[in-house]
Amino acid sequence: MILKIDRKNTNVKDLQNIKNGIENILLNEKIKFSCDVLDDYVNYKLDSFIGDKVKKEILQISRKIIFVQNKSSREYNKYDLEIVLDNGLKIGNGNFTFIAGPCSVESEEQIINIALFLKSVGVDILRGGAYKPRTSPYDFQGIGKDGILLLEKAKKISGLPIVTELMSLDQLEYFDNVDIIQVGARNMQNFELLRELGKIKKPILLKRGFSSTYKEVILSSEYILSGGNNNVILCERGIRTFENSVRNTFDVTAIPYLKEHTNLPVIADPSHSAGLSKYVPAISKAAVASGSDGIMIEVHNNPSEALSDGEQALDFEKYSLLKKELDNILNVMS
């Protein structure tokens, strides 16, 4: 935990009194700390968390004291988080990651065909939903654990790591060979699920809920991080606004904001934002230019026959073209 004193408009004498007060309480409570005096703040890094009673006591000293608990906050982390997958692929900390694949895993032929194409154009990670959160119970629900087995097969053949969505904890036993577990927008505030994912070490791709604030997505990631799982990737996938001409509104501001306020990799999902494949290239370019650490795009070998989200999926030709354009933007930015 970090305790900060806001130095702005605090004179030297008041500041010394506040510091003395804090240090007395911490010493009494036998809490170890270190102190850094910065331009705007005095930062106390505490070795442990303090309870509500002690917090209250400290707050009585001055209103200029702020508590920082978030493990991903910049107060804790000067450097960006770098996640390393089993195959050595690095995510975050200046590495850009291309994730692509169909909305849903449909058949062996489909997923292997797509995986081999994506590998051939330089994609890093294969996505594909096995368990699908669908608005209507009458729509295609995904093929469940068979889908995960097919993803594993595609991983073996293509060499691409895989990411797929977990909807409930009883599915976790099938995720042993999955490289990244996705938590979908609809489950961003399923705190029980997040807490359990904090107990494992596998990287978690946490999608922003479509009506969630930046603070809420950050706090959801803290449920995972505070449990001991340090590997979280955030994903902006569009939010619901008053605009209803498109599926969602891509919130490009989320990318610099989340990167400023956390050390976590932040990726973009332009497919679920746009809802229509024709808008995906423009949104993708905006996301890359805004500094995202990666991009997840839905790609299908035959979008018009896809069992879910076909209207927003790019075919191979369109994805190849976009991938080249995004590589060019990345080159210019580097």
By the criterion CB under 5 A, which residues form the site for Mn ion? 103, 309
Part in contact with ligand PEP (CB under 6 A); list of ranges 19-27, 60-68, 178-186, 225-233: 178-186
Rounded Cα–Cα distance for residues 287 and 148 (Å): 29
Residue 129 found at the interface with ligand PEP (CB under 6 A): yes
Tokens encoding 61: 């000293």
Partner whose footprint covers residue 7, from Mn ion, ligand PEP, none (CB < 5 to 8 Å by kind): none
Rounded Cα–Cα distance for residues 301 and 154 (Å): 14
| β pairing state of 2-6 and 41-46 | antiparallel
Residue 204, classed as helix, strand or coil, is strand
Block residue for tokens 């509500």: 52
Partner whose footprint covers residue 185, from ligand PEP, Mn ion, none (CB < 5 to 8 Å by kind): ligand PEP
Rounded Cα–Cα distance for residues 229 and 176 (Å): 16
Residue 185 found at the interface with ligand PEP (CB under 6 A): yes
Q: How far is the CB of 298 from Mn ion (least distance, A)?
A: 6
Binding residue for ligand PEP (CB under 6 A) from 4, 155, 207, 247? 207
Block residue for tokens 């060979």: 177
Rounded Cα–Cα distance for residues 247 and 253 (Å): 18
Rounded Cα–Cα distance for residues 159 and 122 (Å): 12
List the x/- string, 213-252, binding to ligand PEP by CB under 6 A: ------------------------x---------------
Three state DSSP letters for 225-265: HCCCCCCEEEEECCECCCCCCCCCECCCCHHHHHHHHCCCC
Q: How far is the CB of 259 from ligand PEP (least distance, A)?
A: 19
Half-sphere exposure of 7 (CA within 13 A, CB side): 11
Residue 184 found at the interface with ligand PEP (CB under 6 A): yes
Q: How far is the CB of 247 from ligand PEP (least distance, A)?
A: 9
Partner whose footprint covers residue 179, from Mn ion, ligand PEP, none (CB < 5 to 8 Å by kind): none
Residue 7 found at the interface with ligand PEP (CB under 6 A): no
Using an 8 Å Cβ cutoff, are 243 and 270 in contact?
no
Which is nearer to Mn ion, 103 or 197 (by Cβ)?
A: 103
List the x/- string, 95-114, binding to ligand PEP by CB under 6 A: --------x-----------
* DSSP structural state of residue 252: T
Block residue for tokens 């904001």: 257
Residues 270-299 that bind ligand PEP (CB under 6 A): 272
> Can you state the angle between helices 316-333 and 280-289, rounded to 10 degrees?
20
The per-residue DSSP string of 174-185 comes to: G-TT-SEEEE-G
Q: Give how many residues touch ligand PEP by CB under 6 A.
A: 9
Rounded Cα–Cα distance for residues 39 and 59 (Å): 22
What's the longest Cα–Cα distance across the chain? 73
Which is nearer to ligand PEP, 64 or 207 (by Cβ)?
A: 207
Which is nearer to Mn ion, 103 or 123 (by Cβ)?
A: 103
Q: How far is the CB of 19 from ligand PEP (least distance, A)?
A: 46
Which is nearer to ligand PEP, 161 or 184 (by Cβ)?
A: 184
Which is nearer to ligand PEP, 23 or 139 (by Cβ)?
A: 139
Residue 102, classed as helix, strand or coil, is coil
Part in contact with ligand PEP (CB under 6 A); list of ranges 112-120, 137-145, 171-179, 180-188: 180-188
Which is nearer to ligand PEP, 208 or 323 (by Cβ)?
A: 208
Binding footprint of ligand PEP on the chain (CB under 6 A) = 103, 129, 133, 184-186, 207, 237, 272
